[in-house]
């Protein structure tokens, strides 16, 4: 099995020295791996585990909204509320908001719903 060591190191944002410290390997060894040198099979599991733990999952980060993005969506929902109510899924979502929250504005209710996700 081979891995693109340097590509993974750069994607993780780690320096060669970071890997020296974390993996207990020599700087020369890390340099050699960066240049495409063969990684012994005995070292692969530790290196792969290190990169799995230190590279953010694209799936996790790709789908996560920042608070600013969520607030922008809420603002768009407020702007187009009447049009959106024509869509069954949206109407079901709005109607699923707890009855005790109905006294809140739509904006507050949607914020609360987002916070609970």
Please check whether residue 23 is in contact with residue 46, taking contact to mean a CB–CB distance below 8 angstroms.
yes
Q: Each residue of 56-66: pLDDT tens digit? A: 665 445 566 67
Best CA proximity match to 112, nearest among 80, 92, 103: 103
- Residue 17's SS3 state is helix
Q: Each residue of 78-117: pLDDT tens digit? A: 787 778 778 777 777 666 665 555 555 666 767 776 776 6
Domain boundaries along the sequence of the chain: 5-62, 65-116
Best CA proximity match to 7, nearest among 59, 45, 47: 47
pLDDT of residue 2: 53
**45 falls in which pLDDT band (50, 70, 90)?**
confident
Region of 36 on the Ramachandran plot (φ > 0 left; ψ -120 to 50 alpha; else beta): left
91-to-10, 88, 94, 100, 108 alpha-carbon distances in Å: 45, 5, 5, 18, 17
Please check whether residue 73 is in contact with residue 65, taking contact to mean a CB–CB distance below 8 angstroms.
yes
Question: Which tokens go with 51?
Answer: 């990169």
Choose which CATH entry (1.10.150, 1.10.8, 3.30.70, 1.10.260) describes domain 5-62: 1.10.260
pLDDT of residue 54: 82
H or E stretch covering 105 = none
Lowest mean pLDDT among 17-21, 34-38, 60-64: 60-64
Q: Mean pLDDT of all residues in the chain?
A: 78
């Amino acid at each position: 099995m081979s891995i693109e060591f340097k590509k993974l190191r750069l994607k993780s944002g780690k320096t060669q020295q970071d890997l020296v410290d974390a993996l207990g390997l020599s700087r020369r060894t890390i340099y050699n791996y960066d240049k495409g040198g063969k990684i012994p099979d005995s070292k692969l599991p530790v290196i792969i585990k290190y990169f799995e733990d230190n590279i953010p999952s694209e799936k996790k980060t790709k789908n996560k909204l920042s608070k600013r993005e969520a607030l922008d969506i809420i603002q768009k929902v407020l702007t187009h509320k009447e049009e959106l109510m024509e869509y069954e899924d949206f109407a079901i979502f709005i109607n699923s908001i707890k009855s005790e929250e109905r006294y809140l504005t739509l904006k507050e209710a949607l914020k609360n719903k987002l916070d609970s996700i």
